[in-house]
Amino acid sequence: MTTHVTVIGLGAMGSAMAETFLKAGHQVTVWNRTPGRAGALVALGAREAASPAEAGELVVVSQVDYQAMYDSFSGVDLTGKVLVNLSSDSPSKLREAAEWVSARGGVLITGGIMTPPPGIGQPGAYTFYSGPSDVLSRHEETLKALTDVTYVGADPGLAMLFYQSQLLMFWSGLTSFMYASALAESAGLPVSTMLPYAQETFGGLAGEGPMGFLKILAAEFEARAYPGELNNLHMQAVGMEHVVHTFEDAGLDPTVPVALKELFARAVAEGHGAEGLGSVIESVKKP
């Protein structure tokens, strides 16, 4: 079914979304704060709006943060409009934004996209959505042109709670790979020597075997029990100091290893030394 969609924000992500909606046969209106970014989309059949006030009923927003939505829609009557904001921000900002949109007559659906722009419109990509499920259902077929729809709940903050939790794992995991690669290079080794072991480690953590710590720790967190007989936290806190020394000795930045060393040391000081690594979650919950 052909739908009219307005895409607000034509950065890398918004442009990919507008193009994907066009290719799916939808009528697309676009707007971007800085003019001059709509040319290729207009050539594909999009209409460029002169202002966000020209948006239709279904409005997909893709901007750097939620302040950009306030800046764009300030003074605009949102009566009857459904804003689907797929920008990044914190859950509390999303909850405030839902009230802001509602006070102007509209409904806000929030979303966190779990793919980079080349994944938009590709199988397997998904987006965490939150907000009123009946409104999302009405537009689900259209939104599915972008990614699969993964609804996580009515609280409008939830989309970003899921999204930011995944982003922390994404960024910290990849940053640790940057540290490992820099360490390899400091010893005159090409990064490619590290890659198969990094793949083994990340793959193992997500798997089922003895290295399958995501599943093992999830069970420990739910039971709030962290057996440490085989690998106690005290031993690992000392080991983390060795990681810090290794990076310092190589003349590399120690920021991330030092942050982990300090967290592990605090967990030991808080009485978890004889328990397992999973007990660090107790210190995470008590900042």
Indicate the residue among 127 and 232 with the shorter CB distance to ligand NAP.
Answer: 127
> What is the C-alpha to C-alpha distance for residues 118 and 249, in angstroms, rounded to an integer?
40
Determine, following the binding rule CB under 6 A, whether residue 62 of this chain makes contact with ligand NAP: yes
Least distance from ligand NAP to the Cβ atom of residue 225, Å: 36
Structure tokens at 102: 């509602």
Encoded one letter per residue, x for contact with ligand NAP by CB under 6 A and - for no contact, window 117-156 reads: x---------------------------------------
Q: Which stretch binds ligand NAP (CB under 6 A): 67-75, 144-152, 177-185, 192-200?
A: 67-75
Least distance from ligand NAP to the Cβ atom of residue 127, Å: 9
Numbers of helices and strands, H then E, in the chain: 11, 8
Determine, following the binding rule CB under 6 A, whether residue 87 of this chain makes contact with ligand NAP: yes
Displacement of CA 88 from its chain's centroid (Å): 7
**In b/e form, how buried is each residue of 184-206, taking b as 16+ CB within 10 angstroms?**
beeeeeeeeebeeebeeeeeebe
Structure tokens at 92: 């509390």
Indicate the residue among 10 and 158 with the shorter CB distance to ligand NAP.
Answer: 10
- Mapping DSSP to helix (H, G, I), strand (E, B) and coil, where does residue 284 land? helix
- Near ligand NAP by CB under 6 A: residue from 39, 45, 80, 116: 116
Structure tokens at 130: 């939150």
Least distance from ligand NAP to the Cβ atom of residue 196, Å: 26
Structure tokens at 192: 């490619």
Q: Which stretch binds ligand NAP (CB under 6 A): 3-11, 38-46, 208-216, 230-238?
A: 3-11
Determine, following the binding rule CB under 6 A, whether residue 61 of this chain makes contact with ligand NAP: no
- Mapping DSSP to helix (H, G, I), strand (E, B) and coil, where does residue 224 land? coil
Are residues 131 and 97 in contact, defined by beta-carbon separation less than 8 angstroms?
no
**Interface ranges with ligand NAP (CB under 6 A):** 9-14, 32-34, 37, 62-64, 67-68, 71-72, 87-88, 113, 116-117
